[in-house]
Amino acid sequence: MFPSKDETEITPVELQALRETDSAPSFHLIDCREEDEFAICKIDGATLVPLSRFAEAGPECLKGSALPAVVYCHHGMRSMNATMYLREKGFPEVWSLAGGIDLWSTRVDADVPRY
């Protein structure tokens, strides 16, 4: 289950629990890092929407979808900015991954390289 709409973050453990309980994707997973970072590591199933192009591509990625979204970056700062931007654009069910892919690597999937 996703955090309440009043909260802005989801933890890596909560995200993993969502991934394990859903046989089909029931949410968008958006990586807002840049292409060179995405080439180093990623969370399986993520769509790359770099923050440098997020103003137009972020809302477009969710347009017409009723699914919630989780946005992540390296440590959680850029994804929080992207989350707040999407919420301001009318997408209330968007959360930032607390600690980003770095915390994901230490708490959930040690096979994801850290940088």
Q: Which residues contact 48 (CB under 8 A, 6 or more apart)?
A: 31, 33, 35, 38, 42
Half-sphere exposure of 27 (CA within 13 A, CB side): 22
Token pair listed for 48:
């790359």
Which position among 32, 41, 61, 73 bears the catalytic label? 73
61 in active site: no
Burial of 54 (0-12, 13-18, 19+ CB in 10 A): buried
Instruction: Choose among 80, 57, 70, 85: nearest CA to 27.
Output: 70
Token pair listed for 97:
């991954």
Please give the positions annotated as active site. 73
